[in-house]
Chain A
Amino acid sequence: MMNLLLNLINGISLGSVYAIIALGYTMVYGIAKMLNFAHGDVIMVGAYICYCSMSYLNLPPVVGVILAVIVCTVLGIVIERLAYKPLRSAPSLAVLITAIGVSYFLQNAALLTWKSDPKVFTSVVNLPSLSLFDGRLTISAVTIVTVLANIVIMIALTTFTGKTKMGKSMRAVSEDNGAAQLMGIDVNRTISMTFAIGSGLAAIAGVLLCSAYPTLMPTTGSMPGIKAFTAAVLGGIGSIPGAMLGGILLGVIEIFAKAYISTQLSDAIVFAVLIIVLLIRPTGLLGKQIREKV
Chain B
Amino acid sequence: MARRSNTKMVPVPSDSIVPERDLGRAPVLETKHLGIDFGGLTAVDDFNLTVGATEIAGLIGPNGAGKTTVFNLLTKVYQPTRGAILLNGKQTADMNTVQVNKAGIARTFQNIRLFNDLTVEDNVKIGLHNQVKCGTVTSILRLPGYWKSEKRAHDRAMELLGIFGMQDVAKHQAGSLPYGAQRRLEIVRALATHPSLLLLDEPAAGMNPSETSELMETITYIRDTFQIAIMLIEHDMNLVMGICEGIAVLNYGRIIAKGTPDEIQNNPQVIEAYLGKQ
Do these two chains interact? yes
Distance between Cα atoms of A166 and B136 in the complex (Å): 6
The A-contacting residues of B in range 88-145, CB under 8 angstroms, are 96-98, 101-102, 106-107, 109, 113-118, 122, 125-127, 129-130, 132, 134, 136, 139-140
What per-residue 1/0 map shows which CB atoms of A155-183 lie under 8 Å from chain B? 01001100111101101100110111111
Contacting residues, chain A, for B77 (C-beta < 8 A): 178, 182
Return B137 CB to nearest CB of chain A, in Å: 9
Task: Give CA–CA (A159, B146) in the complex, Å.
Answer: 14
Cβ of B130 and Cβ of A182 under 8 Å apart?
A: no
Answer whether A165 and B107 are a contact pair too, CB < 8 Å, given A160-B140, A181-B98.
Answer: no
Assuming the contacts A164-B140, A182-B106, asked whether A172 and B118 have C-beta atoms less than 8 A apart, the reply is yes
The answer to whether B116 and A175 touch across the interface, beta carbons within 8 angstroms, is: yes
Residue in B closest to A186 when the chains form the complex, CB atoms: B98
Contacting B102 at CB < 8 Å: which of A163, A178, A184? A184
In the complex, which residues of chain A have a beta carbon less than 8 angstroms from the beta carbon of B31? none
Quick check: B98 and A185 within 8 Å, CB to CB? Answer: yes
Secondary structure call for the A interface: helix
Q: How far is the CA of A183 from the CA of B193 in the complex (A)?
A: 7
B109:A184 contact, CB within 8 angstroms: no
User: Contact between A169 and B126 (Cβ–Cβ < 8 Å)?
Assistant: yes
Query: Which chain B residues (185-217) contact chain A, with CB distance < 8 Å?
Result: 189-190, 193
**B54 interface residue per 8 A CB criterion:** no
Residue B260 is within 8 A (CB to CB) of chain A in the complex: no
Minimum CB–CB distance from B40 to chain A (whole Å) comes to: 21
Out of B109, B116, B122, which one reaches A168, CB within 8 Å?
Answer: B122
Say whether A171 contacts B118, CB under 8 Å: yes
Interface flag for B75 (CB, 8 Å): yes
Cβ-defined contact, A183 with B140, below 8 A = no
Counting chain A residues whose Cβ lies within 8 A of the other chain, the interface size class is 20 to 34
Whether the pair B113, A179 counts as a contact (CB closer than 8 A) is yes
| Interface contact B136-A175, CB-CB below 8 Å | no
Interface bits A84-116 vs B (CB < 8 Å: 1, else 0):
000000000000000000000000000000000
Q: Report chain A residues within 8 Å CB of B107.
A: 182
Known A165-B132, A184-B129, A184-B193; contact A175-B98, beta-carbon cutoff 8 A: no
Find the B residue at minimum CB distance from A189. Answer: B98
Q: Which of B75, B97, B189 has the most CB of A within 10 A?
A: B97
| Bound-state Cα–Cα, A164 to B125, Å | 11
In the assembled complex, how far is the CB of residue B188 from the closest CB belonging to chain A, in whole angstroms?
12
Quick one: closest A residue to B132, CB to CB? A165
CB pair B140–A182 under 8 Å, yes or no, is no
Q: Tell me the complex Cα distance, A122–B114, Å.
A: 50
The docked-state distance in angstroms from the alpha carbon of A125 to that of B221 is: 64
Closest to A175 in B: B115
CA distance A114 to B24 in the complex (A): 71
A270-284 contact mask (Cβ, 8 Å, vs B): 1 or 0: 000000000000000
Q: Given the complex of chains A and B, what is the CA–CA distance between A176 and B189 in angstroms?
A: 14
Measured CB to CB, the closest approach of chain A to B202, in angstroms, equals: 16
Contact of A183 among B116, B134, B136, B189 (CB under 8 A): B189
Q: How far is the CA of A185 from the CA of B98 in the complex (A)?
A: 6
A165 touches B136 (CB 8 A): yes
- Which residues of chain B have C-beta atoms less than 8 A from A185's C-beta? 98, 126, 129
Contact across chains for A180 and B126 when beta carbons are under 8 A apart? yes
A residues near B115, Cβ cutoff 8 Å: 171-172, 175-176, 179-180
Contact, CB under 8 Å: A165 / B129: yes
Chain B residues, Cβ within 8 Å of A184: 98, 101-102, 127, 129-130, 193
Pairwise interchain contact A171-B117, C-beta atoms closer than 8 A: yes
Complex CA gap A193/B113 in Å reads: 24
Look across to chain A and name the residue whose beta carbon is closest to the beta carbon of B194.
Answer: A184
Closest residue of chain B to A193, judged by CB? Answer: B136
Q: In whole angstroms, what is the CA distance A182 to B77 when docked?
A: 8
Chain B 47-75 near chain A by CB (<8 Å), digits 1 or 0: 00000000000000000000000000001
Question: Given the complex, which residues of A lie within 8 Å of B129, measured CB to CB?
Answer: 165, 169, 183-185
B139 in contact with A181 (CB, 8 Å):
no
> What 3 A-B pairs have minimum CB-CB distances, sorted nearest first?
A164-B139, A184-B101, A179-B113
Binding site for A on B (CB under 8 A): 75, 77, 96-98, 101-102, 106-107, 109, 113-118, 122, 125-127, 129-130, 132, 134, 136, 139-140, 189-190, 193
Given A172-B126, A184-B130, list of 4 further CB < 8 A pairs? A166-B136, A172-B115, A178-B113, A183-B127
7 cross-chain CB contacts under 8 A: A168-B122, A169-B129, A171-B118, A176-B113, A179-B109, A183-B101, A184-B127
